[in-house]
Structure 1
Amino acid sequence: MKERLREVSKNCYVLSSDKNQVDIHVYLSKKLLEDFTEDEAIKQLYNASMLHGVVSPVIGMPDIHTGYGLPIGGVLATDYEKGVVSAGAVGMDINCGVRLITTRVFSEEINKDLLSKILQAISKRVPQGVGKSSMLKELRKPNLEGIAYEGTEYYIKKGFGRHEDLNRIEDYGCIKGASVSAIPKSAMERTDQLGTIGGGNHFIEVGRISQIFNEEIASKLGLYKNQIYIMIHTGSRGFGHQICTDYSQIMWNNSHKNQTPAPQKGLACAPIFSEDGQNYLKAMACAANYAFTNRQIITHFVREAFVEVLKQSESKLGLDILYDVAHNIAKREKYDGKWLLVHRKGATRALPAKHEDNPNCFKTTGQPAIIPGSMGTGSYVVLGTDRIKSTFCSVNHGAGRIMSRKQARSEFTREDLIKQMGNVVTIAKNMKSLLDEAPLAYKDIDEVIFTLVEAGLTRPIVKLTPMGVLKGEGDEA
């Protein structure tokens, strides 16, 4: 498959289908292409192009790697009236997104001892790891109706944050159309994980802004050199995972009835306006709102931890949300006058300046996309250019793995991980449990970011460098 890719513009390679009019676009730098070994991921994009109602092109981002059905780093748009929705093309952890919080604290004010105390204070409040639940009963038994219909606002009213936080969350923290009635019973039994970060690549990171690429825009966004930030990366936990699992099975079982064949179960789909399609979208919205709420509750605990350790008020510390962006989501969006359902699996939205769907605070700058690297390297805040519409306003969501978790565990030792982490503080009880998240198990984040920059789709605003990280154990993605 890799050999069939042909370059059509800077860092953009095309594979044309011999069976329909849908092209596959893959964004890779020369270096990423040279090192690329995952033909299976390209094949998954090709398979996705065969689904009913797909709109050209199907897109692979520079962090692309093989996933369940659609690769991680995959974007799939379907005709909203005649196309399909695929649970697997959204992903297992629905709305596994990233939130960036800024502070009025600067790196020279934080030493390793303070940083360790901050991480410990967060850790006491926010459980980490697969299957973990909060110590607070109200978070173990959440009001799912409230989350479904009000989203993040429901728990803000209960004291978990500020009302103005809503202006800094994609869809204001609530995707409309959610219905608890569409949630399978098995998923209802997995709603006990609010306020937790899970395992896999989920984390809470404290770091500093190490590089400014555009001072004017950075200043408009409230981003300054050496400013301390907090990044939260987690999603809908076991709740969203179960919804994806169950609806993938339902769509697979009903593919004949729905007349929506798929080449593999991971791409099982249903017509958007079929019973299965509508029920999935209602359940997906519930999980997405759960994820927004999860990150909101964690934000509340992070604020508490900073106030406790630094012994200053919230207002003095800042602790303001820059933005909260979703990935692993399907959204109704208009392109060239036509309504589409855009699936972003391991991809995130980056609406350019003046886009009508931008929150008011980002009308002139465009909506920031927050792209984390691995736990020992850098992350970026980028903006989409006017050309970003060629990817359905989508960018990559991270660095992307180059090693499976199993391979990383077998190749790296505890000492290797410590060396790769450098001066980054972590308070993991067992460093060996984090071997699968070693920085060298991921692509070079700089190479990945500048693939789209050189393609003219994004522009970097700031680079973020981690100082301390809190991660959970387990293989949850």
Structure 2
Amino acid sequence: MVELSNIEENVYEIERTGAMRVPARVYGSEQLIEEMLEEGDLTLTQVRNVATLPGIQRFALVLPDGHQGYGFPIGGVAAVDVDDGVISPGGIGFDINCGVRLLRTGLSYKDIAGQGSILADRLYQTIPTGLGKGGYLRTDISDVRGILEYGMEWMLDNGHAREADLDHCEENGRLPGDPNAVPTEALKRGVNQVGSLGSGNHFLEVQRVTDVYDPETAAAFGIDTDDIVVMIHSGSRGLGHQTCSHFIRTFEREYSELVASLPDKQLVYAPLGDRLADEYWDAMNAAANFAWANRQAMTQAVREVFDALFEATDVEVVYDVCHNVAKEERHTVGGREKSLLVHRKGATRAFPPGHPDVPEAYRDVGQPVFIPGSMGSHSYVLAGGERSLELSFGSTAHGAGRLKSRTQAKSEYTAGELQKALRARGIYVRARSGGTLTEEAPGAYKDIDEVVRVSDALGIGTKVARTAPVANIKG
């Protein structure tokens, strides 16, 4: 068993031993830690393994929503020195730049009264969901290559975005990606998937702002009690998955001796500066650009639906933030500022007030952070916390985190009962299959209120507002 010591409230640590280069930290309450331990010590073993990575700084980290993942735990953060560190696809995930975007609509709850079911139907009919082809935009190979290189800039230049949409995206919706680094099969999978939701835990949800905890910050974000907002959770679709799979296989083949020495082969990495590291970096950035374009196309679809159903609506992007990506950032370690490659896997960037990478409109209050719950629970709007750089390399949780496996959820819930229970609460859900509903049952997730309470208490993400679901579409 992995030994976990409580060093202060909501902060636990695994002492550096053996091949670990730094300690491992876990942020969570007693309740959340107990839930992690119910999976055995798999999450803790994974974060301990991450602590063995070359160049890792300060500590390997699990956030309050953490649970077992591929190599790295989901809810994991690892920052490595760019001069002697590595890049690991397992620390980013298969759905590159899976992220969350929040839209404000200019409508209040009374404006859409009685329209929840119709909204769910129209959104579901307009935005392709589930596995396979189909996107809100029709694209060819040339279009996809342009998106991989230019991201949101391509969307703007081709009439699918407003200038303000880019201003309210992390990195303005573009990283230095190279479409030539993306495997051909991955590129093909991106054709006609721009503006598609995907499957699993991805969703598009119309929400009502039920509580405002920080009126000043909420006003800066342009939201208030009873406002209608739309939350989009999706990523780079099959293109990102194929890209990650390709490079994991390539790393395993090219670094076979390394793989044999790792505590878990799923941690496979390439030293920064190696040819393969550069290729993966270029491909990952390109896939991230695709994900931003994907969420932008769904934004355009939301605009179409709301314009058709309601008067005086104006759908605007509040912010768009990643939670599966590696980014080069400047952080202070041991009193010295260093360039680090920060892996965030199921972890949301959460820069505090005053940080130069926060959009100017939000710089005084901190970067917007969105932490979705489940289709039957609250979601939250936060702002980057004052202690986020100190405690988590500027990161916080990305969701509630799974409590039960998909198989377990399917065995415990039925789609019909879930639909009935949600409708009774005024929540209208549309999904491609009953299996999707049961896999994503609210009871399959941790307590989102507790996850957010811990983030707020630690000062890594400050509560701004809470929302409740009205209509939800899933794959």
**Same-fold status (TM-score > 0.5):** yes
Unaligned runs of 5+ residues in structure 2 are none
Q: Distance in 2 between matches of 1:136 and 1:147?
A: 12
Q: Deviations over 1:87-138 (max 9, x none)?
A: 11100000000000012111112123x2222222222221000123226532
CA shift, 1:449, in A, is: 0.7
Q: Distance in 2 between matches of 1:286 and 1:13?
A: 36
Q: SS of the counterpart of 1:386? A: coil
Answer yes or no: is the 8 Å Cα contact 2:63–2:76 preserved in 1.
yes
Answer yes or no: is the 8 Å Cα contact 2:137–2:195 preserved in 1.
no
1:245-394, aligned counterparts within 5 Å?
245-256=245-256, 261-310=261-310, 312=311, 316-336=312-332, 337-389=337-389, 390-394=391-395
Q: SS of the counterpart of 1:361? A: helix
Q: Distance in 1 between matches of 2:426 and 2:127?
A: 23
Answer yes or no: is the 8 Å Cα contact 1:206–1:468 preserved in 2.
yes
Q: Deviations over 1:57-105 (max 9, x none)?
A: 1100111111111011111111111100001110000000000001211
- Report the counterpart of residue 26 of structure 2 in structure 1: 26
- Report the counterpart of residue 172 of structure 2 in structure 1: 172
- Report the counterpart of residue 186 of structure 1 in structure 2: 185
CA shift, 1:301, in A, is: 0.7
Q: Distance in 1 between matches of 2:28 and 2:442?
A: 20
Q: SS of the counterpart of 2:242? A: helix
Q: Deviations over 1:188-236 (max 9, x none)?
A: 2211211100000001100110000011211122110000000111000
1:426-465, aligned counterparts within 5 Å?
426-428=429-431, 430-465=433-468
Q: Distance in 2 between matches of 1:419 and 1:17?
A: 50
Q: SS of the counterpart of 2:57? A: strand
Q: SS of the counterpart of 1:128? A: coil
CA shift, 1:264, in A, is: 2.4
Q: Distance in 2 between matches of 1:79 and 1:429?
A: 44
CA shift, 1:51, in A, is: 1.6
- Report the counterpart of residue 397 of structure 1 in structure 2: 398
1:466 pairs with 462, 465, 469, which one? Answer: 469
1:13 has 2:12 as partner: yes
- Report the counterpart of residue 97 of structure 2 in structure 1: 95
Query: Do the aligned partners of residues 429 and 278 (structure 1) sit closer, same or farther apart at CA in structure 2, a change above 3 Å counting?
Result: closer
- Report the counterpart of residue 239 of structure 2 in structure 1: 239
Q: TM-score, normalised by structure 1?
A: 0.94
Q: Distance in 1 between matches of 2:276 and 2:261?
A: 14
Unaligned runs of 5+ residues in structure 1 are 473-477
Q: Distance in 2 between matches of 1:136 and 1:357?
A: 30
Answer yes or no: is the 8 Å Cα contact 2:259–2:265 preserved in 1.
no
2:42 pairs with 40, 43, 46, which one? Answer: 40
Q: Percent identity?
A: 39
Answer yes or no: is the 8 Å Cα contact 1:378–1:465 preserved in 2.
yes
Q: Distance in 1 between matches of 2:183 and 2:161?
A: 30
CA shift, 1:141, in A, is: 4.3
Q: Superposition RMSD on alpha carbons, in Å?
A: 1.7
- Report the counterpart of residue 407 of structure 2 in structure 1: 406
Segment of structure 1 superposing worse, 188-197 or 200-209 = 188-197
Q: SS of the counterpart of 2:387? A: helix
Q: SS of the counterpart of 1:55? A: coil
Q: SS of the counterpart of 2:241? A: helix
